[in-house]
Structure formats: C-alpha cells, structure tokens
Structure 1
Amino acid sequence: MHKQEEKNLYLLGWILLGIFLSYLLIAKFSHFRTFFHLPCLFRTLTGYYCPGCGGTRACIAFLHGHFLRSLLYHPVVPYTAVVYLIFMISHSIELLSKGNFAIGLRYRDNYIKFAGIIILVQWILRNFLKWKWGIDVLGN
C-alpha cells in the first residue's frame, strides 16, 4: 500500500471513530439502538448461527469493558478493536513526530484474511457444538 493510501486509511479511521462516537451519543439519549435487536434471519430460518451472530453482543460487552465476554460472543470484535487501536495510535505517533518515529502499523491483507479465518472458525465451531451436543453458546 502506498503512503497516500495509508494516510487515507488513517483519515478514514478518524472519520469512523467520529461516526461511532456520534452513534453512541444518539443511542444514549434515544431509542435508536432498539433497531439492532432484530432477530437474525439466518438463525430464524435454519436454527443455526450465522457468521455474524453474537457480533452486537460482543461490541456491547467490549464497550462495557467485558473483554473476555466480548471474545466469547464473537472473537473478531476484540481482534478488530486491537488492530484498529494499534494502527491509529502508531500512525498518530508517526504523524505527531513528523516521521521521526516511523512506527505506523502498515496495512497488510493478512489482517483481513485472519479476521475471515476467525469468523469462519467460530461459525463452524458454534454450529458444530449446537448440532452435535445441542450446546447453544449464545444462550438463545
């Protein structure tokens, strides 16, 4: 990835943080957040988890500081949060030092591939536990 593309990604990180914080502010003072409590269509139709099941709970747990619970609900959420924080902090240090500390985490497709593997593994594992032993890991 070129330097300009990384700068754009860094700027996008700040924009996404602003959008996220705005959402939290709106959700705190309104009933807007109830939209996200709709049932999973995949789960309703099949009885099994979709690859994203548990993601909303994982985000909520993470925001409340329950990192282990977040990891159990959906491991890609804390993984993404950690990669995002390392990327943003390291690039902020690099920017503020005017390049004297060139420590910015460089984008690699492997970060996305690893997230995909996490999603696939947890999806297969959860549905296997449900199918084989009737274990409903999300408690629905």
Structure 2
Amino acid sequence: MEPRMSKKEEKSLYILGWMLLAAAVLLLGITKGLHMQMKIFSLPCVFRELTGYYCPGCGGTRACAALLQGKIVKSFLCHPVVLYTAVIYGWYMITHTIEYLTRGKLAAGMRYRDLYLYLAAAIILIQWVVRNLLKLIWGIDIL
C-alpha cells in the first residue's frame, strides 16, 4: 500500500496549486497586456535540431497555448499530458476547495498518489514513441 501524505503535506500541495494558478494568470495577463504572443517563450528544441526527431516534451508549449485558447482537441493532439495534467490539477483543486470550505465535513479532497505521476510519465513515453515511429516509418511530421 502506498504511504499517504499527511494533512499538512496535502494542504501545502493545495496552497502550491493556488500559487501555480496565480503565476499562470499573471503570466497570461502580462502577455495579453503587453500584446505579446506566446511564441516568444518557445525556444527551438535542441534534441529535434540535432537529431531530426521529437523529444519527449515536443509540443508541450503549443499544447498549453491551445488549452488556454480553449482548443481542447488541438491541445491533446499537440501533447496529451498537458490536458491530463490540467484535468488532474483541476479536480484536485476543486475537491480540496470543497473540503476546506466545508471544514472537513465533506471529505471530498482528492488525495495525492504517485500513480498520477506514473500515468503522466507513461503518456509522455507513449506519445514520444508514437510520434517518432510515425516520422521514422511513414514520414509523417506531426508538429
């Protein structure tokens, strides 16, 4: 059985989630306020430049930008782990907010499990292999 996080660790993770959301909103506000495009944050992939093949993270920035624009399918196609992470993050934050607002009377808070990280790693590995096989065998360039 997987060891559980303490209440203090869960609360710290929840607070960190709010800090992450605040940073994302701030970054989005700055880029929109200064009429900057997200492309300035996108550097070329060194792995792809050197090998011609995709790295495990290729498409992540495009997936984030698509998700922020509400283009869920495009986000998934660019890099599925971004959508997976957004869903897990959203569910974690919503359920913990409910639990904290009810002062624990409604113990709805999603508990952290290492399994969520293993699933994310599996998604990254699978999409990396599939993308590179498509390129290597059939010459299909995804990005």
TM, length-normalised to structure 2: 0.93
Paired residues, what number? Answer: 138
- Structure 2: distance between partners of 1:83 and 1:93: 16
Q: Output the aligned Cα RMSD.
A: 1.1
Aligned residue in 2 for 1:45: 50
- Structure 1: distance between partners of 2:140 and 2:82: 22
Instruction: Please give the per-residue CA displacement for 1:91-119, whole angstroms capped at 9, x wherever unaligned.
Output: 00000001111010000000001000000
Secondary structure in structure 2 of the residue aligned to 1:135: coil
Aligned residue in 2 for 1:4: 8
TM alignment of 1:90-105, pairs within 5 A: 90-105=95-110
TM, length-normalised to structure 1: 0.95
Runs of 4+ in 1 over 3 A off after TM superposition: 31-35
8 Å Cα contact 2:38-2:65 kept in structure 1: no
Gaps in structure 2 of 5+ consecutive residues = none
Q: CA offset at residue 59 of structure 1?
A: 0.6
Q: CA offset at residue 37 of structure 1?
A: 2.5
TM alignment of 1:77-116, pairs within 5 A: 77-116=82-121
8 Å Cα contact 1:94-1:101 kept in structure 2: yes
Secondary structure in structure 1 of the residue aligned to 2:41: helix
